[in-house]
């Protein structure tokens, strides 16, 4: 916990903080990028921003991000939903309606869906589930992600694909 208000302090000191950040980035560039960080397809960002932080002797934000992912309850819920969905449907595209029609037969899948899209009556809200999946499409958890399939009978379909 902070003894101050970091957001208020950052807002108050924004010009000085911005000047300091730009000075560090410029110095790292002038030094010829002596440190480099790699983050997936964000090569330039890793080279400039992560590299500058490493050059200063600061913690590697990529490693910190990985550690935080292990503590992220939203990511943990997504992981379970993706695992259960994939176990039941494999790579078959499914509409939300089709999934909700069959979810009651597998208690673990029902629990996973209820954790992300429950309704006040104790069931699963189809709109909430569709919004949840749309919001998380492409987000990788446990080597899987939701991707949109082809429209079927006027409804979106979703499938879970492995990420290599």
> What would the pLDDT profile of 43-59 be if each residue is shown by its tens digit?
777 788 888 888 888 88
pLDDT tens digits for 75-128? 888 999 999 999 999 989 999 999 988 765 677 888 889 899 998 888 899 999
First to last CA, the chain: 38
Task: Enumerate the β-bridge partners of residue 161.
Answer: 145
CA distance 146 to 161: 7
Q: Please state the domain extents for the chain.
A: 6-68, 73-162
Report if pTM > 0.85. no
């Amino acid at each position: 916990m902070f003894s101050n208000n970091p957001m208020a302090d950052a807002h108050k000191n924004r010009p000085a903080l911005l000047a300091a950040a730009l000075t560090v980035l410029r110095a790292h560039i002038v030094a010829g990028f002596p440190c480099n960080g790699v983050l997936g397809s964000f090569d330039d960002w890793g080279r400039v921003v992560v590299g500058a932080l490493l050059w200063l002797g600061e913690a590697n934000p990529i490693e910190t991000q990985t550690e935080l992912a292990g503590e992220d309850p939203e990511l943990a819920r997504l992981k379970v939903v993706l695992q259960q969905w994939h176990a039941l449907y494999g790579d078959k595209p499914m509409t939300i309606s089709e999934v909700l029609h069959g979810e009651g037969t597998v208690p673990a899948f029902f629990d996973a869906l209820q954790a992300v899209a429950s309704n006040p009556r104790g069931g699963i809200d189809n709109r909430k589930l569709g919004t949840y999946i749309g919001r998380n499409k492409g987000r990788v958890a446990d080597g899987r992600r939701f991707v949109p399939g082809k429209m079927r009978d006027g409804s979106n379909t979703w499938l879970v694909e492995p990420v290599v």
